[in-house]
A and B are shown apart, each in its own frame.
Chain A
């Protein structure tokens, strides 16, 4: 098992042949659910991040393995966004390490982190409002100089609504469409690891469900996902594993199915009435 998984992992990383990958990832995910044999893609170790006098993260440990979807949950102000921004180099940690594919990347400036294979769809979407959908996607492919047609096809395949609106100015898109664009833009950089910060924010439940299906599809195509969410039920249903952050510390972690049925989570995030 160990040797095959390692081989599989390199194949996933090499980023070839999508159809093959889809099948392979299922295997990887099965492996991830079983045990820790799949190599860690992202590791946070003792990560502490300060905003001036405020310590937003008080030394957290977190692992995302190749091919997984990991949910990072927590109340407002828990430090989820801070964690993602630190991973993508927008913030510097005060202590601890960020390792990606085994290499330390804390201290690498944000514009180099993208090149390593980390895509970030930030909180609040942050699309380039005065640019067209197409131009936004082109900015997503910035590290390659220009967008490859097959990447555009892939994004438009995932989000047909964006294809219809490729000339529309991004600022005039609906909230849901902007979220699709933000995710699509992050995918244009062909990330190995996709960081999603509250993709469901402000969206109607039906759109959220569709969006999460698409995130599942992106994962099935071979992209590892770290998903920050308030919408714990949906996120845990999609994820393999989850972490719960509370005022800068990891309070709980484990397989998503277990967290989903944990009474503390049900109380805090799902409301007691949720069946």
Chain B
């Protein structure tokens, strides 16, 4: 190669470019990783152009692609990629300047985060401020927004809190979690007398909550009892099957659940204790506050559990089941407990949902929702209550925040992209749990978690 260059340098016309190329070759950046990074950024730009570009349709699959690639959007996106690359590669002083510029903003946040980790007072204050915001801010929001806040955000925060016990603390991969949500919903329908099968006596939705929680607890134990001896992946498949069973029963037993027609007229919550008379109606704010109350209650209870012997036992099981058993932990009992607690939280959410909406059918409980709840938990930080609250809140809100910004049908695509980016750069989640903050698995673990027969 160098011989070729030398030959060419003899010809004056090409001498300059040859010198440039030879000079470039001597430059280290010309050689490898940077160009690869440029390629990656260009690919990301292309992807972005396609994502934000025209919507495809079933008749002409390539139409949208042609449209996008011919439009200026492609060049804008590729240009963005190049700009990002230039900034990343040559902009060390620029980045330093940016960091200095942003320091007044980021430093207090970082310091606050540090303080929050160390000082209890700061954490409590942050929690109270957050709660106050959650209580009062919706007053200023539109009714449609509050609707979303209840049906998606509030309900799913409660679900995520429940799933966090199962997967974040006990380390059990449950992919059929929404089945318990469905059981809660149908319990509300049953105990208020709106299913084809009638209850022995009717209950106020408030009283249905504990009943549904108990039902889910029992369902959790019935499912968990025979299956919790299984390890990770097998358990996931079993829970998948469990969801399918619940879904199909709801859909096909017309005499029991009214089948795919669903159930109408599930009553709203109401209180009738002497002078205290209140009836929840269609106003989502009422339900938002009810849900907030339940969430606060759940957080308080779960926090106590997390810091009790039970929490430590779950952590031990999650980290090494065999070692835990060898030190006297009845692993099946504790796994069952986690499963049942998660299930009953989900059941409570189901009752609130059914009563709020007043109408449920099997399509309200698709498998996708189990996956979504799982994504919320992982996004926020498995095993961390603040993480789960924040993660579920943000991620459940995202599709609705994007409603007016991007094409309706694309909303979940952006959520997917966000999850991918998140898993690459911050797999431990937004606010990771203390126990999981170290990230990398240690040699002790990887060398150990192989081949266990029990």
Which of B315, B328, B331 is within 8 Å of A114, CB to CB?
A: B328
> Which residues of B, 313-365, contact A by the 8 Å Cβ criterion?
313, 315-316, 319-320, 322-331
Residues in chain A near residue B330, CB distance under 8 A: 109, 111
Q: Is the CB of A129 within 8 A of B319?
A: yes
The one of A131, A143, A173 in contact with B316, judged by C-beta atoms closer than 8 angstroms, is A131
- Which residues does chain A contribute within 8 Å of B313, judged by CB atoms? 142
Give Cα A139 to B312, complex, Å.
Answer: 8
CB pair A142–B438 under 8 Å, yes or no, is: no
Contact indicator per residue, chain B 34-51, by CB within 8 Å of chain A (1) or not (0): 000000000000000000
A122–B323 alpha-carbon span in the complex (Å): 7
- A131 to B325, Cβ gap below 8 A? no
Is the beta-carbon distance between A124 and B326 smaller than 8 angstroms?
A: no
- A90-B322, A131-B319 known; A170+B444 contact, CB < 8 A: yes
A126 within 8 A of B: yes
Determine the chain B residues whose CB is within 8 A of the CB of A186 once the complex forms: 327
Q: B314 → chain A, closest Cβ, in Å? A: 11
Q: Once the chains are docked, how many angstroms separate the CA of A171 from the CA of B454? A: 24
A48 at the interface (CB under 8 A from B): no
A130 at the interface (CB under 8 A from B): yes
- In this complex, the member of A51, A129, A173, A175 whose beta carbon has the largest number of chain B beta carbons within 10 angstroms is A129
B325–A111 touching, CB < 8 Å: yes
CB neighbours of B322 from chain A (8 A): 90, 122, 126
Q: Given the complex, which residues of B lie within 8 Å of A109, measured CB to CB?
A: 330
Measured CA separation A130–B315 after assembly (Å): 8
In contact, B444 and A178 (Cβ under 8 angstroms): yes
Q: Which residues of A contact B312 (CB under 8 A)?
A: 131, 135, 138-139
Residue of B nearest to A145 (CB): B309
Asked if B435 is at the interface of the complex by the 8 Å CB criterion, the answer is yes
Q: Are A125 and B448 in contact (CB under 8 A)?
A: yes
The contact of B328 among A126, A142, A173, A178, by CB within 8 Å, is A142
Residue in A51, A126, A130 whose CB lies within 8 Å of B323: A126
Residues of B within 8 A of A126 (CB): 320, 322-323, 444, 448
Q: Which residues of A contact B438 (CB under 8 A)?
A: 130, 169, 171-172
Is A219 in contact with chain B by the CB < 8 A criterion?
A: no
Q: Is the CB of B328 within 8 A of A143?
A: yes
Residues of B within 8 A of A146 (CB): 309
CA distance A186 to B326 in the complex (A): 9
Q: Mark B427-454, 1 if CB is under 8 A from A, else 0.
A: 0000000011010011111011000011
Q: A90-B454, A127-B444 are in contact. Are A122 and B319 (CB under 8 A)?
A: no
Report if A238 contacts B (CB, 8 A): no
B389 to chain A, nearest CB (A): 22
Known contacts A128-B316, A128-B319, A130-B319; A171/B327 CB under 8 A: no
Contacts of B444 in A (CB 8 A): 124-127, 129, 170-171, 173, 178
Q: Per-residue 0/1 for A107-138: is the Cβ within 8 Å of any B Cβ (1 yes, 0 no)? A: 00111101100001010111111110001001
Question: How far in angstroms is the closest Cβ of chain B from A142?
Answer: 4
How close is A186's CB to chain B, nearest CB, in angstroms? 8
Which of A114, A140, A142 has the most B CB atoms < 10 Å from its CB?
A142
- On chain B, the residues within 8 Å of A169 by CB distance are 438
Contacts of B454 in A (CB 8 A): 90-91
Alpha-carbon separation in the docked complex, A127 to B323 (Å): 8
Set of chain B residues within 8 Å of A93, measured between Cβ atoms = none
Query: Is A110 in contact with B442, judged by CB distance below 8 angstroms?
Result: no
**B328 lies within 8 A of A124 (CB):** no
Closest residue of B by beta carbon distance from A202: B447
List B contacts of A248 (CB < 8 A).
Answer: none
Nearest CB to that of B454 among chain A residues? A90
Residues of B within 8 A of A138 (CB): 312
**A145 CB contacts on chain B under 8 angstroms:** 309
Specify which chain B residues have a CB less than 8 angstroms from the CB of A175 in the assembled complex: 443
In contact, B325 and A128 (Cβ under 8 angstroms): no
Given known A91-B453, A122-B323, contact A129–B328 (CB-CB < 8 A): no
A224 to chain B, nearest CB (A): 18
Instruction: Return the contact of B327 from the options A130, A131, A189 (Cβ within 8 A).
Output: A189
- Enumerate chain A residues within 8 angstroms of B323, measured Cβ to Cβ: 122, 126-128
Rounded to whole angstroms, the CA-CA distance of A129 and B444 in the bound complex is: 7
Q: Taking the nearest CB of chain B, how far is it from the CB of A106, in angstroms? A: 15
CB within 8 Å for A111 and B328 given contacts A126-B320, A128-B320, A130-B436 = yes
A131 to B437, CA, bound (A): 11
Q: Is A110 within 8 A of B448, CB to CB?
A: no
Most A CB contacts (10 A, CB to CB) among B313, B326, B331, B435 go to B326
Q: How far is the CB of B424 from chain A (nearest CB, A)?
A: 22
A residues within 8 A CB of B320?
126-129
Q: Which residues of A contact B331 (CB under 8 A)?
A: 111
Q: A128-B316, A138-B312 are in contact. Are A172 and B442 (CB under 8 A)?
A: yes
Contacts of B435 on A, CB cut-off 8 Å?
130-131
Q: Say yes or no: B319 contacts A110, CB within 8 Å.
A: no
* Residues in chain A near residue B327, CB distance under 8 A: 114, 139-140, 142-143, 185-186, 189
Cβ of B316 and Cβ of A189 under 8 Å apart?
Answer: no
A205 to B390, CA, bound (A): 50
Q: How far is the CA of A31 from the CA of B316 in the complex (A)?
A: 41
B436 and A189 within 8 A (CB):
no
* Chain A proximity of B19: nearest CB distance (Å): 53
Q: Which of B324, B442, B447, B453 is within 8 Å of A139, CB to CB?
A: B324
- 6 nearest A-B residue pairs (beta carbon): A171-B442, A114-B328, A126-B323, A143-B328, A130-B435, A110-B325
Q: List 24 A-B contacts (CB under 8 A).
A: A88-B326, A110-B325, A114-B328, A115-B328, A124-B448, A126-B323, A126-B444, A126-B448, A128-B316, A128-B320, A128-B323, A129-B441, A129-B442, A129-B444, A130-B315, A130-B438, A131-B312, A131-B316, A135-B312, A139-B329, A142-B327, A142-B328, A173-B444, A189-B328
Known: A90-B322, A142-B327, A142-B328. 20 other contacts (CB 8 A): A91-B453, A110-B325, A111-B330, A112-B328, A114-B327, A122-B322, A124-B444, A125-B444, A125-B448, A128-B323, A130-B438, A135-B312, A143-B328, A169-B438, A171-B441, A171-B442, A172-B438, A173-B444, A185-B327, A189-B327
Residues of B bordering A, CB below 8 Å: 309, 312-313, 315-316, 319-320, 322-331, 435-436, 438, 441-445, 447-448, 453-454
